[in-house]
Amino acid sequence: MRNLVYLILTVTLLTVYPGCLKAYKQSVNGDTMKVFGRIYRTDFNTAWQAVLDALKQNAHDVVNRDGGFIQTKWTDNTSEKNFTDSFGNADSYLKAQYRFIVNVAKGFYNGQQSVKVTVQKEQLIQRDVLEGWRPVETDSIDENTLLYRIERLIYIRHRLAQLDDEKAKEAIKGEGF
């Protein structure tokens, strides 16, 4: 019986607490933005090009290679937000827009050259004409998808370079050098 009470209390706290924390952060104008990041064992040039390729469907507002910073322009996603939220109990949106902020930083991880890529998505919504734009906490799907794309592009670049090296070695062996 005692374990059942603890279980019910734990489940209740886990389901109620995150919502309360989000409401508290918004009430004190706190930062509800999440930053997602991964470390890739590669050089800066490969990671930078992979980030640009992963973001090529988004128009870029700021691109600073020296600072390792990319900010996309605001992209309208009203229809996507209304479609995904139509299955829930949320109201529809008059307008919705988002943009990505990506940072690429050089470093070392376990003694190897590496790059840390962080992604932040700013999502703004407007429910009606009088409300104005309001930031919304992200569901992390787009950020994790972008990081996965970057990872796969880095892998493809490394694999192509490896295949080119193998082909060059075979060509040298075939010529008898």
Sign of CA dihedral 83, 128, 119, 34: negative
Distances (CA, A) of 151 to 69, 88, 117: 18, 32, 10
Query: Residues 39, 72: one domain?
Result: yes
Our CA angle for 147, 150, 154, nearest 5°, is 140
Instruction: Identify whether residues 158 and 112 lie together within a single domain.
Output: yes
Residues 71 and 4 in one domain: no
Element (DSSP H or E) covering residue 161: helix 141-175
What tokens does 94 get? 């008059």
What's the pTM? Answer: 0.73
Do 119 and 152 lie in one domain? The reply is: yes
Strand partners, 67: none
For the chain, list residues with pLDDT below 70: 1-33, 83-91, 176-177
Please say whether the beta carbons of 124 and 93 come within 8 A. no
- Residue 118 inside a domain? The answer is yes
Give the number of domains in the chain.
2
Shared domain for 109 and 168, answered yes or no, is: yes
Are residue 59 and residue 144 in the same domain, yes or no? yes
Q: Quick one: 7 and 38 in the same domain?
A: no
Residue span of the structural domain in which 145 resides: 33-76+99-124+138-175
The predicted structure's pLDDT at residue 174? 80
Q: Tell me, what DSSP letter sits at residue 32?
A: -
Q: Is residue 88 part of a domain?
A: no
* 120/150 same-domain check: yes
Give the domain CATH number at 60: 3.30.530.20
